[in-house]
Amino acid sequence: MNELDISNTQAVFVTVILIGLLLYLNHRDRKKSAHIERESRNT
């Protein structure tokens, strides 16, 4: 029971972190999108 409980909690914890990270990166990308486009053109 304990092992199952811990693995389930970890799965939820990791999922929440990944979703939060994706939302954070998506929010940053919108702000820096113009800057990234300029850099990609120069490269």
Residue 27, domain member (yes or no): yes
Give the separation between CA 5 and CA 8, rounded to whole angstroms.
Answer: 5
Residue 43, domain member (yes or no): no
Domain that holds residue 1: 1-38
Is a pLDDT exceeding 90 seen at residue 37? no
Q: What pLDDT score does 25 carry?
A: 92
Pull the structure tokens for residue 4.
């199952």
Residue 19, domain member (yes or no): yes
* Helices within 1-43 (DSSP H only): 2-42
Residue 7, domain member (yes or no): yes
Residue 2, domain member (yes or no): yes
Condensed to tens digits (0 to 9), the pLDDT of residues 7-36 reads 888 999 999 999 999 999 988 877 777 676
Placement of tokens 């811990």 in the chain: 6
Pull the structure tokens for residue 38.
């300029």
Output the pTM of the full model.
0.53
Residue 17, domain member (yes or no): yes
Number of domains the chain is built from: 1
Residue 9, domain member (yes or no): yes
